[in-house]
């Protein structure tokens, strides 16, 4: 396993991060603990969760992933684990979380971290992330900014000030963003520098063969400002494994939770998936290994967040992130990218 320093922090994270959003719905607690044990044995020291998980989000599954991780974590040497979690934001119908009051203000941030720490059975998290922006932005399959959807949002400086208190108190070591835009990242960086507030060290955004939007603006910011990308959904909700090509009704999130992934229901997604799968097989690789090796090998990706429902999938995902791609394969990927440019933004 390779390790890297996360942005301008002192966190040494594995280049593979275990995502946990299946824990509590698709995976039982016993399943979750087997996955965590296996990942740790493979050198994975980076675990990512969220108060909203498991998914799809609902009142019954709220917080279950953190509970499952917490029951495992209490048996581990805490300083061996880099633990990340996220606070849910406004703009979505999550009325079971703080009665739907999800603005990133001091009251809600403190309530959220207290809940997460209790479920995780720890005194601190290494990385605390804003799951999506407080303000109006196109996320989770939306791809056009719509001024008509403007709403009041907590000023970023106020949010950073509340997070600064948690850092000072030792409850949070570093802060990060998720599902953010170039404007948002630069605002957080500018205000942190201007007011002496915590500087974000990472952004957790979708990144895969179907969604390379990071490269269109955020890649330069990440490079020049040393802000790490934590790449989630490297297999595009399982589509890039190719399993749905052979069996459209194969068991997975797309068939279990229909309507949950609007990002991957757009017109050019299926042709792109078929093209990448054909490329992989022509070069003697599985579609899964091609997709994971591509994401993990990008120079702007600090860690690739993988998820699985079985140990067999987890083993292939960890191995896939360590794979290499020849120059010839990368050139063919680029040619397909120009033909099917970001079909699932």
CA angle 272, 317, 83 (to 5 degrees): 115
C-alpha span between 235 and 27 (Å, rounded) = 18
Q: Which two tokens stand for residue 218?
A: 């955020």
C-alpha span between 180 and 334 (Å, rounded) = 25
C-alpha span between 122 and 85 (Å, rounded) = 12
C-alpha span between 118 and 71 (Å, rounded) = 11
C-alpha span between 293 and 126 (Å, rounded) = 27
* CB-based contact 75:32 (threshold 8 Å): no
Alpha carbon of residue 151 to chain centroid: 25
C-alpha span between 263 and 43 (Å, rounded) = 32
Burial category of 82 from C-beta neighbours within 10 Å (exposed 0-12, middle 13-18, buried 19 and up) = buried
Question: Collapsing DSSP states into helix, strand and coil, what is residue 104?
Answer: coil
C-alpha span between 97 and 84 (Å, rounded) = 19
Q: In the block, which residue shows the tokens 């087997």?
A: 34
User: To the nearest 5 percent, what fractions of the chain are helix, strand and coil?
Assistant: 45, 15, 40
Residue 334 contacts by C-beta under 8 Å, 6 or more apart in sequence? none
Among 24, 2, 6, 57, CA closest to 309:
24
Catalytic (active-site) positions: 53
C-alpha span between 194 and 190 (Å, rounded) = 6
């Amino acid at each position: 396993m390779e390790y890297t320093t996360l942005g301008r922090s002192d966190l040494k994270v594995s280049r593979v991060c275990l995502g946990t959003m299946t824990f509590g719905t698709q995976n039982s607690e016993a399943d979750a603990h087997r996955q965590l044990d296996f990942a740790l044995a493979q050198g994975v020291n980076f675990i990512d969760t969220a108060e909203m998980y498991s998914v799809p989000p609902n009142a019954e599954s709220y917080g279950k992933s953190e509970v499952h991780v917490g029951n495992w974590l209490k048996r581990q040497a805490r300083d061996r684990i880099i633990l990340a979690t996220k606070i849910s934001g406004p703009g979505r119908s999550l009325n079971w979380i703080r009665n739907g009051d999800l603005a990133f203000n001091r009251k809600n941030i403190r309530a959220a971290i207290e809940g997460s720490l209790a479920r995780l059975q720890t005194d601190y998290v290494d990385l605390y992330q804003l799951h999506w922006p407080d303000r109006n932005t196109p996320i989770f399959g939306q791809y056009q900014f719509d001024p008509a959807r403007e709403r009041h949002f907590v000023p970023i400086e106020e949010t950073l000030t509340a997070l600064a208190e948690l850092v000072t108190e030792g409850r949070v070591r570093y802060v990060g963003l998720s599902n953010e835009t170039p404007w948002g990242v630069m605002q957080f960086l500018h205000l942190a520098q201007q007011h002496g507030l915590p500087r974000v060290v990472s952004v957790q955004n979708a990144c895969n063969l179907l969604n390379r939007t990071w490269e269109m603006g955020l890649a330069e910011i990440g490079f020049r400002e040393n802000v790490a990308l934590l790449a989630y959904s490297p297999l595009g909700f399982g589509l890039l494994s190719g399993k749905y090509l052979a069996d459209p009704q194969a068991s997975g999130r797309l068939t279990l939770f229909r309507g949950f992934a609007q990002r991957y229901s757009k017109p050019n997604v299926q042709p792109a998936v078929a093209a990448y799968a054909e490329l992989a097989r022509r070069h003697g690789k599985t579609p899964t290994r091609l997709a994971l090796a591509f994401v993990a090998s990008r120079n702007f990706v600090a860690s690739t967040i993988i998820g699985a429902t079985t140990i067999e999938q987890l083993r292939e995902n960890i191995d896939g992130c360590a794979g290499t791609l020849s120059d010839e394969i990368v050139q063919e990927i680029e040619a397909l990218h120009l033909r099917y440019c970001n079909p699932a933004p």
